[in-house]
């Protein structure tokens, strides 16, 4: 089995692009702390939206879907699952909520990861829940045309438990002893986790949940308000490309993990900047029409009512609709289509 040594990783030199990404994330995290200190009313709504988007997107990456209405009801615990897909969606919501509420009491360890995996399958009778894999598995990609291919062959089952325990120990030691910057240790750990692929099922979803957990435990809370999973799902081809590029030579310890590190750092930075954009719209408090106008000014090309709702989480849907109607009447934007096909565009 391959060796893991995060201390040695911390001794290497890092290129200017990586260092710039890290510096930018710290800067945005500082700005977020200032926003949070003001406790605007819209923050609770941002949390609700992010939780729904994260649950939807992380499952959608794996082909697990339901209707928007059912998804919202499941996340808000206003209904119970009706089928396997909804059982998996509800399980993801349970783990995500647990991380949101109790991250400080969930240290990184093999046993805690197994417990989180068990909760992921809480709504179904699944014998694999909370257990490492008992058969060889593979990392594969599914493309829009329905085709798929194997990208990587992970560790064999008999190697899995020891490797999972080892990377947890390495992460905790390297970060705890300040031998490796947390923003570097997190993507490297997640990359190793995905290469080990410790479970028969649920590895991708667990990797995204663990990303949130480790960010929280390191003091980075952006995914509470902006969904990292939604960003990954939007361009998941880039996710697969970065993962595949970083996996070459992994079994021999000769991999170049930097494509995946830079990919994940870019996702985190993008989320922080989205958070800042949304906070600028709602502060200081202005009439709903002006909030909608500010949101519209941030959009390029066509946008929908839902796009504006995500930027203005403190507004009701009726206030957003009213604001859009007034902007159409002013000639600031134009409306196209009807019903669910309605979209808008700014006019110069």
Domain ranges of the chain: 6-281, 287-346
State yes or no: pLDDT of 139 exceeds 90.
Answer: no
Q: Above 90 in pLDDT, residue 238?
A: yes
* 173: helix, strand or coil: helix
pLDDT tens readout for residues 216-231: 999 999 999 999 999 9
Q: Average of pLDDT values for 12-32?
A: 96
Res. 126: pLDDT tops 70: yes
Site of tokens 């709903």:
288
Mean pLDDT of 144-164: 90
Read off the pLDDT of each residue in 338-346 and give the average, rounded to a whole number. Answer: 91
Give residue 287's pLDDT: 84
Q: Shortest CA distance to 62 belongs to which of 102, 25, 92, 28?
A: 92
Least confident window among 88-92, 202-206, 297-301: 297-301
Q: Within 10 Å of residue 276's Cβ, how many Cβ atoms? A: 14
Mean pLDDT calculated for residue range 305-309: 88
Q: What pLDDT shows up at residue 39?
A: 61
pLDDT of residue 288: 86
pLDDT at 348 over 90: no
Distance of CA 48 to the CA centre of its chain: 14
pLDDT, residue 49, reads: 86
Bridge-based pairing state of the strands 148-152 and 139-142 = antiparallel
Confidence band for 317, pLDDT divided at 50, 70 and 90: confident
Task: Name 222's Cβ contacts closer than 8 Å, sequence gap at least 6.
Answer: 28, 29, 32, 215, 228, 268, 271, 272, 275
Question: Which pLDDT does position 283 carry in this prediction?
Answer: 62
Token match 């390191």: residue? 218
Furthest-apart CA atoms within the chain: distance in Å? 67
Query: In the prediction, which pLDDT does 59 show?
Result: 95
Mean pLDDT of all residues belonging to the chain = 92
pLDDT of amino acid 284: 61
Q: What is the pTM of this model?
A: 0.87
In percent, how much of the chain has pLDDT > 70? 97
Assign 148 a pLDDT band (cuts: 50, 70, 90): confident
Query: What distance in Å separates the CA atoms of residue 45 and residue 49, rounded to the nearest whole number?
Result: 6
CATH architecture of the domain formed by 6-281: Orthogonal Bundle (1.10)
Distance (Å, whole) CA 249 – CA 257: 10
Per-residue pLDDT tens over the stretch 181-199: 999 999 999 999 999 999 9
pLDDT at 314 > cutoff 80:
no
Phi/psi region, residue 244 (left: phi>0; alpha: psi -120 to 50; beta: rest), is: alpha
For 55-99, the pLDDT digits (tens) are: 999 999 999 999 989 999 999 999 999 999 999 999 999 999 999
Q: Does residue 168 register a pLDDT over 90?
A: yes
Quickly state the pLDDT bin for 271 (edges 50, 70, 90): very high
Confidence of residue 43 (pLDDT cuts 50, 70, 90): confident
- In this predicted structure, the answer to whether residue 145 has a pLDDT above a threshold of 80 is yes
| Lowest-confidence pick of 87-96, 288-297, 306-315 | 306-315
Residue 320 or residue 284, greater confidence: 320
Q: How far is CA 68 from CA 53, 64, 320, in A?
A: 10, 13, 19
What pLDDT sits at residue 277?
A: 83
CATH class of 287-346: mainly alpha
Distances (CA, A) of 250 to 174, 193, 309, 324: 20, 12, 43, 52
- How far separated are the first and last CA of the chain, in Å rounded? 61
Q: Higher model confidence: residue 294 or residue 36?
A: 294
């Amino acid at each position: 089995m391959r060796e893991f040594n995060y201390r040695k990783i911390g001794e290497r030199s890092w290129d200017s692009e990586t260092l710039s990404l890290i510096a930018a994330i710290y800067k945005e995290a500082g700005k977020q702390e200032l926003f949070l200190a003001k406790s605007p009313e819209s923050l609770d709504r941002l949390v609700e939206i992010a939780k729904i988007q994260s649950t939807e997107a992380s499952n959608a990456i794996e082909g697990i879907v339901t209707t928007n209405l059912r998804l919202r009801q499941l996340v808000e615990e206003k209904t119970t699952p009706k089928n396997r897909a909804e059982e998996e969606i509800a399980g993801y919501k349970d783990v995500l909520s647990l991380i949101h509420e109790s991250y400080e009491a969930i240290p990184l360890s093999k046993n805690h990861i197994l417990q989180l995996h068990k909760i992921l399958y809480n709504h179904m009778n699944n014998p694999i829940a909370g257990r490492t894999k008992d058969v060889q598995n593979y990392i594969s990609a599914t493309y829009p045309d329905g085709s798929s291919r194997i990208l990587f062959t992970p560790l064999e089952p008999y190697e899995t438990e020891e490797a999972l325990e080892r990377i947890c120990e390495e992460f905790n030691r390297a970060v705890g002893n300040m031998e490796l910057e947390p923003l570097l240790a997190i993507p490297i750990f997640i990359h190793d986790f995905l290469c080990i692929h410790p479970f028969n099922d649920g590895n991708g979803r667990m990797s995204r949940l663990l990303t949130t957990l480790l960010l929280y435990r390191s003091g980075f809370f952006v995914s509470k308000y902006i969904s990292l999973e939604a960003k990954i799902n939007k361009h998941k081809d880039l996710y697969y490309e970065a993962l595949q590029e970083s996996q070459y030579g992994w079994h021999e310890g000769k991999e170049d993990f930097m494509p995946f590190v830079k990919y994940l750092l870019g996702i985190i930075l993008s989320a922080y900047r989205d958070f800042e954009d949304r906070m600028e719209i709602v502060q200081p408090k202005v009439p709903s029409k002006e909030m909608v106008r500010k949101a519209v000014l941030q959009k390029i090309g066509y946008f929908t009512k839902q796009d504006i709702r995500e930027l203005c989480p403190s507004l009701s849907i009726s206030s957003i609709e009213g604001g859009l109607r007034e902007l159409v009447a002013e000639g600031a934007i134009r409306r196209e289509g009807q019903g669910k096909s309605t979209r808008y565009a700014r006019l110069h």
